[in-house]
């Protein structure tokens, strides 16, 4: 059994507001192999790093009277969302905002860092990873997730083209590049597979299916036949933990074994320490991570990289 990789989910987001330099630097210091940025787009076509394109919950945009008129209602991937959207702001405008904790009721200690840090670009996160590699003497990869590419394409913002341009500028298109590219949609990954050699990861969840493939469910994609199809364009799958083990008291499903048989590696998301996020029967985060290590997991997305690194080293 190999040592699982640790992907710092939006940085050490259990201990610092997600997608901030502080979160990424802490994750690197804690030993993470990859830092993960969620990518959305500004109005002028710059890839920026936020959990969603709606930024009311992750920035102080509501405190900026000059942007009050940008509050709106929009349909994103079939869901009605109220708030402020990155595609309505230029990069310069977004960089006047400051990050804040997305889950203040769950992570009140993180609110002490609210208002300290700006919104980052994808390029800045690449630079943080490279600085971390130089500082620690070990490779630090980036694991970007393309958020809502179909939504942005419909808004006239070609996320895939803009993304590939950044990869090319940073020599991150090769098969051995320190990058792992994720998306819940299928089409973007298939098209990227034809353009670059960098490793791709198909995300899946317990419910629903890819927004760009209404004929397909994630449950169908997780069958042996579905996994064989995914292996035609991706090297990894990234699955919700409940797809492998719904709770701590049951034997795992065959998903990891089936994926390995198809030639795919498996990452699972998201390992969090708070009791509200732990499944029934899990004593704590360490126990839950340890169980997945015995299942043969190849990588763990965690908000608490230190815990994941400790279990990976066992």
- 19 as an active site residue: the answer is no
Q: Which member of 9, 19, 148, 151 is catalytic?
A: 9
Q: Which member of 19, 51, 148, 151 is catalytic?
A: 51
- 148 as an active site residue: the answer is no
Task: Render the burial of 148-171: b for 16+ CB within 10 Å, e for the rest.
Answer: bbbbbbebebebbebbbebbeebe
Q: Which residue has the tokens 């500004």?
A: 42
CB atoms < 10 A from the CB of 277, how many?
Answer: 17
CA pseudo-torsion sign 9, 12, 14, 16: negative
d(CA 257, CA 160): 31
d(CA 151, CA 302): 27
| C-alpha distances in Å from residue 293, one per residue of 10, 60, 164, 224 | 21, 39, 33, 22
Contact partners, residue 169, CB within 8 Å, separation at least 6:
none
Where would I find the beta strands (DSSP E) of 116-180?
A: 141-142, 145-146
d(CA 271, CA 306): 12
- The catalytic residue positions are 9, 51
């Amino acid at each position: 059994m190999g040592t699982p990789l640790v992907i710092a989910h939006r940085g050490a987001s259990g201990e610092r507001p997600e997608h901030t330099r502080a979160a990424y630097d802490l994750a690197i210091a804690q030993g993470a192999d990859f830092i993960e940025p969620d990518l959305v787009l500004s109005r002028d076509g710059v890839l920026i790093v936020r959990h969603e394109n709606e930024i009311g919950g992750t920035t102080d945009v509501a405190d900026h009277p000059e942007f009050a008129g940008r509050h709106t209602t929009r349909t994103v991937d079939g869901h009605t969302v109220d708030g402020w959207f990155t595609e309505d702001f230029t990069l310069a405008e977004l960089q006047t905002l400051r990050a804040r904790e997305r889950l203040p009721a769950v992570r009140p200690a993180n609110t002490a860092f609210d208002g300290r840090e700006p919104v980052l670009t994808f390029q800045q996160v690449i630079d943080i990873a490279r600085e971390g590699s130089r500082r620690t003497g070990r490779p630090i990869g980036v694991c970007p997730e393309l958020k809502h590419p179909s939504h942005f394409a419909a808004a006239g913002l070609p996320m895939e083209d803009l993304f590939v341009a950044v990869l090319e500028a940073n020599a991150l298109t090769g098969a051995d590049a320190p990058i792992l590219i994720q998306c819940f949609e299928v089409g973007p990954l298939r098209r990227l597979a034809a353009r670059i050699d960098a490793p791709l990861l198909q995300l899946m969840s317990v419910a629903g299916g890819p927004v760009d493939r209404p004929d397909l469910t994630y449950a169908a994609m997780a069958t042996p036949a579905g996994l064989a199809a995914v292996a035609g364009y991706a090297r990894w799958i990234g699955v919700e933990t409940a797809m492998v083990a719904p709770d701590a008291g049951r034997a795992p499903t065959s998903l990891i074994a089936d994926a390995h048989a198809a030639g795919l590696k498996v990452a699972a998301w998201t390992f969090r320490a708070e009791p509200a996020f732990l499944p029934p029967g899990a004593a704590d985060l360490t126990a839950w991570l340890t169980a997945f290590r015995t299942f043969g997991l190849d990588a763990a997305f965690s908000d608490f990289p230190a815990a994941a690194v400790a279990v990976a080293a066992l």
